[in-house]
Amino acid sequence: MNYPYPLLAREGWLFVAIAALVAFIVQGFSPWLAVPFWLLFFFVLQFFRDPPRSIAGIGDGSGSVVAPADGRVVAVEETEDPYLKRQAVKVSIFMNVFDVHSNRSPVDGEVRAVWYNPGKFVNAALDKASSENERCATHLEGANGQDVTCVQVAGLIARRILNYAEPGMKFTRGQRYGFIRFGSRVDVYLPPDADVRVSLGDKVYASSTLLAEFAKVNHA
């Protein structure tokens, strides 16, 4: 899904139109009564903003991993990748309702698999959200053979994960591949020897923040 995105994500066009229409209708009856509806309209408008981004990376970028989402880093830990059944370093990014919710590929690579798991909608800032919430995982094989699992996790308010990736598709770093509506989380599982460049509590931006570099390149 690599069409030239405008400043407003197409996933939000309907929501923005409905919010604007309701505000206009109420405005016709009472300008004062319409104030909260206009505030709602501006909230929806800012939620679905989708600005262009620069792409972080060093050299040709084949060893670079960029942030797949805007938000704050809430976990950097060694754990098991539950999808590829391997040891990994997990970096988790929590998106609040004021962050941009467009999701982008963290690496140059090919989609090997996509898994969807239904689940709960607990607060996405909690660790248990990674294993209990509704989620959609995308396995990307990097340009030099590195495996990266990128997991979109629904949150307390988020009720819709949109993932446009399909096995066989090829992405470049920063290419848009999905969207999550209204607050959520993205987990990135990296090889254990990846050199993570962010720390707990850091604010990151999709595509333009360097998340990690591969310490070793595993040739196929």
- Which are the catalytic amino acids? 184
8 Å CB contact between 62 and 142: yes
User: Which residues on adjacent β-strands are paired with residue 65?
Assistant: 212
Q: How big is the CA angle at 178 (ends 175 and 180), to the nearest 5 degrees?
A: 140
- The sheet carrying 161-163 orders its strands as 102-104, 176-180, 161-163
Q: How big is the CA angle at 150 (ends 149 and 155), to the nearest 5 degrees?
A: 135
Which tokens in the block code for residue 127? 């660790």
State the Rg of the chain over Cα: 18
Residue 92 to residue 70: CA distance in whole angstroms: 11
